[in-house]
């Protein structure tokens, strides 16, 4: 029986994979939180990997505090680059299949067309820099890896835009939401299923892939959809990102082109509205 190790097990994607796991009893699942896969302690992480001895690794763990990363660069790079490098090296040495998760933040947001896997990377914040460094290290150490870049992740678990909006729309009469950052949300449950489809696919085809739900929207439009599905009375006002200052810059355009993952792995990608509804059921 093959053993799947999931790092970042208590995060959004890790939590959705744990929901999905019972549907795949042919695998032995090990969900590793920070104590079982300690991404900020490389010596410990190496011994943990040897002890777990996985056949497949879903590296969902990451440093994701985008604004905090501006002042915690060393920690962000240790987790998002050095730990990834170590995992990729372990994977290639032990014939382990590795799926590593990355982000739309490797791009600068200057595009006006959906970004494919060959689009030029140029991160504009420390978090994006650290994730890009992780991608480069992963491919260098282990060209047989699969890297999935995703964007605007949300689920019923953890902290995310949807849950924040649900809370604030019940607490406030009016909300300001940025209307000039364009992309597409990703329902973590859909991404988890896509990862399992890849593992179950007859052929392992390494490389970088993009995955988010279908559709092109701004955060403001996303908030309007949340308001509609939740039947909230809160007024939602669109504002430019220049009116909402954050320590880290965000890309203004990060819509991902999913053509490659759909064709290579024969994946069906749901529209964001269809997936968003599921959070309200």
Supply the DSSP string of 174-239, one letter for each residue.
EEEEE-S-EE--EEHHHHHHHHHHHHHSSS---EEEEE--B--EEHHHHHHHHHHHHT---EEEEE
Which domains occur in the chain, in start order? 2-159+185-214+254-270 (3.40.50.720)
What local confidence, expressed as pLDDT, does residue 281 receive? 82
Query: Is 127 tagged catalytic?
Result: yes
Owner of token pair 């991902």: 256
What local confidence, expressed as pLDDT, does residue 244 receive? 87
Predicted structure pTM score: 0.97
> What is the tens place of the pLDDT at every residue in 127-155?
999 999 999 999 999 999 999 999 999 99
What is the rounded distance in angstroms from the CA atom of residue 124 to the CA atom of residue 131?
A: 12
pLDDT band, very low/low/confident/very high, at 107 (cuts 50, 70, 90) = very high
Q: Please name which of 149, 151, 169 lies closest in space to residue 280, comparing C-alpha atoms.
A: 169
What local confidence, expressed as pLDDT, does residue 46 receive? 97
The shares of helix, strand and coil residues in the chain, as percent rounded to the nearest 5, are 40, 20, 40
Q: Which residues touch 77 (CB under 8 Å, ≥6 apart)?
A: 129, 130, 133
Mean pLDDT along residues 76-103: 98
Burial tier of 74 (Cβ tally within 10 Å: 0-12, 13-18, 19+): exposed
What local confidence, expressed as pLDDT, does residue 166 receive? 97
Burial tier of 61 (Cβ tally within 10 Å: 0-12, 13-18, 19+): buried
Average pLDDT, the chain: 97
Catalytic-role residue among 63, 90, 105, 127: 127
What local confidence, expressed as pLDDT, does residue 269 receive? 98
Mean pLDDT along residues 228-242: 97
Kindly tell me if the per-residue pLDDT of 205 is higher than 90: yes
What is the rounded distance in angstroms from the CA atom of residue 222 to the CA atom of residue 202?
A: 36
Task: Kindly report the number of other CB atoms within 10 A of residue 218's CB atom.
Answer: 18
- Please list the residues that pair with 31 across neighbouring strands: 6
> What is the tens place of the pLDDT at every residue in 19-43?
999 999 999 999 999 999 999 999 9
What is the rounded distance in angstroms from the CA atom of residue 253 to the CA atom of residue 265?
A: 26
> What is the tens place of the pLDDT at every residue in 168-199?
999 999 999 999 999 999 999 999 999 999 99
What is the rounded distance in angstroms from the CA atom of residue 244 to the CA atom of residue 263?
A: 38
């Amino acid at each position: 029986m093959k053993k799947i190790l999931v790092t970042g097990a208590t995060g959004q994607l890790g939590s959705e994979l744990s929901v999905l796991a019972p549907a795949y009893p042919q695998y032995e699942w090990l969900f590793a939180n920070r104590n079982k896969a300690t991404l900020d302690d490389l010596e410990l992480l190496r011994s943990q990997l040897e002890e777990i001895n996985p056949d497949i690794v879903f590296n969902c763990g990451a440093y994701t505090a985008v604004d905090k990363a501006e002042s915690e660069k060393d920690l962000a790079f240790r987790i998002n680059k050095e730990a990834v490098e170590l995992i990729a090296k372990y994977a290639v040495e032990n014939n382990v299949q590795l799926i590593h998760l990355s982000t739309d933040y490797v791009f600068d947001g200057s595009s006006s067309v959906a970004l494919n896997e060959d689009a030029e990377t140029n991160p504009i914040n420390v978090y994006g820099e650290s994730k890009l460094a992780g991608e480069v290290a992963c491919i260098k150490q282990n060209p047989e890896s699969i890297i999935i870049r995703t964007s605007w992740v949300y689920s019923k678990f953890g902290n995310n835009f949807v849950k924040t909006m649900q809370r604030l729309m019940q607490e406030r009469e009016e909300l300001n939401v940025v209307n000039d950052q364009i992309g597409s949300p990703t329902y973590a449950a859909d991404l988890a299923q896509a990862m399992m489809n890849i593992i179950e696919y007859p052929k392992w085809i390494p490389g970088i892939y993009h995955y988010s739900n279908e559709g092109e929207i701004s955060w403001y439009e996303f908030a309007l959809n949340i308001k509609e599905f939740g039947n909230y009375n809160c007024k939602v006002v669109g504002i430019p990102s220049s009116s909402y200052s954050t320590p880290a810059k965000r890309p203004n355009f990060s819509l991902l082109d999913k053509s490659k993952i759909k064709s290579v792995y024969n994946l069906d990608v749901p529209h964001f509205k269809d997936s968003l509804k599921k959070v309200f059921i």
